[in-house]
Structure 1
Amino acid sequence: MAHFLVRVQPRSSRDRVEGYLDGMLKVRVTAPPADGKANTALTKLLAEFLEVPRSGIKIVRGVTSRNKMVEVESLSEEALLVRLDSVKTRGGG
């Protein structure tokens, strides 16, 4: 099981993983923050990006905040770091 920090920017022009900087994954979603829509968009985007089932991604802290702690059930910390490091080398997604 892996945990990581995410900074979410709702109401963006498109859904996108921006990059990984200072221990935090920067993500933009088109959905508004109302009624959990941005959180739903975030879990969908992260599932696609990390190539894991959407049901295995949980927001464990910061549900109503832009800064969130996310848990991924089916991914080890080492595997997560490899995937997040690839965002750094690609220049942001």
Structure 2
Amino acid sequence: MTLLTVRVKPNARVQRATRLDDGSWLLHLKAPPQDGKANRELIALLAQELGVTKAQVKIKSGQSGRTKRVEIDD
């Protein structure tokens, strides 16, 4: 199990993921932060970037914030 710190920027023009020098991630998401759309996009994008399934990615804390703790099951 791996814990990541993820900073989210919703309503971005381009969807992209960037790994920062401190080991955290910065995700630019096209989805708005409404009804969990941005969280679902976060899970899909992070799973794609890390080469795991979406079921292996879980948001542990920060559901409604821009900074989240995400757990990756290995």
TM-score normalised by length of structure 2:
0.94
Matched with 2:14 is 14
What's the % identity of the aligned pairs? 39
Deviations 1:17-59 (A, max 9, x none): 1331434211100000000000000000000000001001000
Name the SS of the counterpart of 1:35 in structure 2: coil
Matched with 1:67 is 67
Segments of 5+ residues of structure 2 without an aligned counterpart are: none
Q: How is 1:1-93 mapped onto 2 (pairs within 5 angstroms)?
A: 1-74=1-74
Larger Rg over CA atoms? 1
**What is the RMSD of the two structures over their aligned residues, measured on CA atoms?**
1.0
CA distance in 1: counterparts of 2:19 and 2:50, whole angstroms? 13
Question: Could you list the runs of 4 or more consecutive aligned residues of structure 1 that deviate by over 2 angstroms after TM superposition?
Answer: 21-24
CA distance in 2: counterparts of 1:51 and 1:24, whole angstroms? 17
Higher strand share: 2
Segments of 5+ residues of structure 1 without an aligned counterpart are: 75-93
